[in-house]
């Protein structure tokens, strides 16, 4: 009897162990200190984030490795069947996503060894963005540590919401030329317009928003704690305001996509749908505060694009806010009258079908106007349907020439590319043509998937897509039993969509990798203690 009691006590002690606490402290730093850290304002901000990530991640990996080894050594003391406890960390159980992650690392190692520029492929320092093999190895390392050592505690997500809210608020203040941290000191007027908060340029802020905003939105839907929900809603409101100030199409693309996905996902359960519409209402209403703040400050603000202006200034957005508020009120009333109402399965199927038809239509139109009918004039918003060299702030020339480069590769380069973060060398023969659009050079394709195709080849891109696919498929399956899965998956989806027109870098991509790891952790059943609605 005493042996069984000791076994139960040991299991109880391991419910929340030192390795779990260490992992949560690591995530706390990554979700609060990491986004806000800038040692010398915007100067060297990429290096600041890069070395901070390597530092705290390296410490976390080493410390967790020591704790895991200690746990296994302790486990060996209990050899009899009645004294044997469950494996403390299932290192040997590899999922599809685990294998894809290892494959990605192996491909990047081979790509680096075969590269004509191995030093750049390793660090990505001279002509890259520090996205070399070293950073990728740290991504893989922390992925395996998180998936084996994470234990859900909601305070981490509340801290994420609070830390993100500070970044969002700074971007709103910077939008109105208010600079409380002195970040704009010694910057040129052009850089003042482009840089914001403690993240960097507007595209990077959009990337940050696409990781963090979906998380705080979904947590506002699922949390049981009223105070936490208020924190999430405030952070969501500031995040949406920041999205409007970032003036970046990549952010609009990513956030728009995840809002549609979440609408489909929540469409059956009124208890979740009401909270989702509440969050949408709060966000859209908050965007209307931007012109109010601008008016109070005497009209001092940066310029934004027409789409953002439509959301922040037009009467259409006022009408839409009223409609959202009405829908929210009706959903709350319905949930009050008939709690636990679940709508028919046909609703998400219909919504999903409409969205898929819409996506297929847009893709077909892009193919038609880009490859078949290249003469018909497209103006305004319809101009995005024709991809040519000037498309998307001349992303078009980078994409078109990248496929030419890949087509001229030898077989080994088609498989393994030119080396991680060596896009600069691959694209250098086309710098003359690129200069027609105002850029003398580039070190990224401004499309993460094309960038990986060139730098780590078809094998590397396949491994990376397998990581994304494996993560999301497993997350969706798990989401039916654990809502935390959709919280983590929402960040993965949103970032992956915006990556179509954006770049990987050590400022926001590490946060994306953390949510790949967290989504996989939930899928493994290591966060089944999450108490969410």
Residue 310 counted as domain residue: no
pLDDT-based confidence at 90, cuts 50/70/90?
Answer: low
Residues 108-143: pLDDT tens digits? 999 999 999 999 999 999 899 999 999 999 999 999
Domain that holds residue 112: 2-268+343-365+434-523
How high is the mean pLDDT of the chain? 92
Residues 400-420, mean pLDDT to the nearest whole number? 96
Residues 312-352: pLDDT tens digits? 999 999 999 999 999 999 999 999 999 989 999 999 999 99
The three-class DSSP label of residue 342 is: strand
Share of the chain above pLDDT 70, in %: 94
Residue from 400, 420, 530, 403 nearest 464 by CA = 420
pLDDT at 277 over 90: yes
Q: How many CB atoms lie within 10 A of CB 177?
A: 13
Residue 426 counted as domain residue: no
304, 294 contact by CB (below 8 A): no
How many domains in the chain?
1
Residue 351 counted as domain residue: yes
Residue 412 counted as domain residue: no
Q: How many whole angstroms separate alpha carbon 158 and alpha carbon 219?
A: 9
Q: How many whole angstroms separate alpha carbon 451 and alpha carbon 456?
A: 8
Partnered with residue 269 across adjacent β-strands are 342
Q: How many whole angstroms separate alpha carbon 422 and alpha carbon 523?
A: 34
* Count of alpha carbons within 13 angstroms of residue 380, beta-carbon side: 3
Residue 393 counted as domain residue: no
DSSP string computed for 400-450: HHHHHHHHTS-HHHHHH-S-TT-HHHHHGGGHHHHGGGT-S--S--SSHHH
pLDDT-based confidence at 68, cuts 50/70/90?
Answer: confident
pLDDT given at position 5: 45
Residues 441-490: pLDDT tens digits? 999 999 999 999 999 999 999 999 999 999 999 999 999 999 999 999 99
120, 494 contact by CB (below 8 A): no
Q: Say how far residue 217 (Cα) sits from the centre of its chain.
A: 13
Strands 195-196, 200-201: pairing kind: antiparallel
Alpha helix (H) ranges present in 76-182?
96-114, 118-123, 133-149, 155-175
DSSP string computed for 161-176: HHHHHHHHHHHHHHHT
Residues 14-61: pLDDT tens digits? 478 888 999 999 999 999 999 999 999 999 999 999 999 999 999 999
pLDDT given at position 87: 47
Residue 282 counted as domain residue: no
pLDDT given at position 8: 42
pLDDT given at position 78: 55
* Count of alpha carbons within 13 angstroms of residue 498, beta-carbon side: 32
Residue 275 counted as domain residue: no
pLDDT given at position 356: 93
pLDDT given at position 77: 60
Residues 357-397: pLDDT tens digits? 999 999 999 999 989 988 888 887 788 888 988 898 889 99
The three-class DSSP label of residue 369 is: helix
Non-local (6+) Cβ contacts of 358 within 8 A are none
The three-class DSSP label of residue 195 is: strand
Residue given tokens 């159980």 in the structure block: 93
């Amino acid at each position: 009897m005493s042996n069984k009691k000791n076994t139960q006590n040991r299991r109880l002690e391991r419910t929340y162990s030192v390795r779990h606490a260490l992992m949560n402290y690591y995530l706390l730093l990554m979700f609060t200190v990491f986004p806000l850290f800038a040692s010398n304002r915007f100067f060297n901000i990429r290096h600041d984030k890069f070395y901070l990530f390597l530092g705290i991640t390296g410490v976390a990996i080493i410390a967790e490795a020591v704790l895991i080894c200690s746990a296994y050594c302790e486990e060996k003391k209990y050899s009899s069947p009645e004294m044997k406890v469950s494996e403390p960390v299932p290192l040997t159980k590899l999922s599809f996503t685990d294998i894809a992650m290892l494959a990605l690392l192996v491909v990047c190692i081979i790509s680096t060894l075969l590269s004509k520029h191995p030093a750049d492929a390793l660090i990505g320092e001279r002509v890259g963005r520090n996205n070399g093999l070293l950073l990728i190895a740290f991504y893989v390392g922390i992925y395996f540590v998180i998936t084996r050592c994470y234990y859900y505690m909601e305070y981490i997500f509340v801290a994420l919401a609070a830390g993100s809210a500070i970044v969002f608020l700074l971007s709103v203040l910077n939008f109105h030329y208010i600079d409380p941290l002195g970040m704009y000191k010694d910057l040129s007027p052009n850089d003042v317009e482009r840089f914001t908060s403690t993240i960097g340029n507007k595209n990077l802020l959009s990337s940050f928003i696409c990781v963090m905003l979906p998380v705080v939105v979904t947590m506002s839907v699922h949390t049981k704690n009223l105070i936490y929900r208020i924190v999430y809603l405030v952070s969501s409101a500031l995040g949406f305001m920041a999205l409007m100030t970032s003036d970046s199409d990549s952010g609009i693309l990513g956030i728009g996509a995840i809002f549609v996905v979440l609408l489909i996902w929540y469409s059956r359960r009124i208890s979740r749908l009401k909270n989702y519409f509440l969050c949408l209402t709060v966000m859209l209403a908050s965007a209307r505060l931007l012109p109010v703040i601008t008016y109070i400050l005497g009209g001092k603000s940066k310029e934004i694009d027409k789409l953002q202006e439509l959301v922040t200034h037009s009467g259409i957005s006022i009408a839409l806010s009223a409609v959202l508020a009405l829908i929210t009120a009706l959903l709350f009333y319905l949930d009050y009258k008939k709690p636990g109402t679940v709508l028919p399965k046909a609703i998400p199927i219909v919504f999903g079908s409409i969205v898929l038809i819409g996506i297929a239509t847009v893709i077909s139109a892009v193919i038609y106007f880009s490859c078949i009918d290249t003469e018909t004039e497209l103006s305004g918003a319809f101009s995005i349907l024709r991809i040519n060299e000037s498309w998307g702030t001349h992303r078009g020339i980078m994409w078109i020439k990248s496929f030419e480069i890949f087509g001229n590769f030898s077989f080994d380069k088609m498989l393994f590319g030119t080396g991680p973060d060596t896009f600069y060398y691959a694209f250098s023969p086309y710098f003359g043509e690129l200069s027609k659009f105002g850029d003398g050079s580039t070190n990224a394709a401004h499309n993460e998937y094309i960038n990986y195709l060139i730098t780590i080849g078809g094998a590397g891109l396949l491994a990376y897509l397998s990581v994304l696919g494996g993560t999301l498929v497993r997350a969706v399956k798990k989401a039916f039993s654990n809502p935390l899965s959709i919280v983590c998956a929402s960040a993965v989806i949103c970032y992956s969509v915006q990556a179509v027109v954006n770049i990987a870098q050590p400022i926001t991509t590490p946060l994306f990798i953390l949510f790949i790891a967290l989504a996989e952790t939930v899928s493994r059943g290591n966060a089944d203690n999450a108490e969410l609605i």
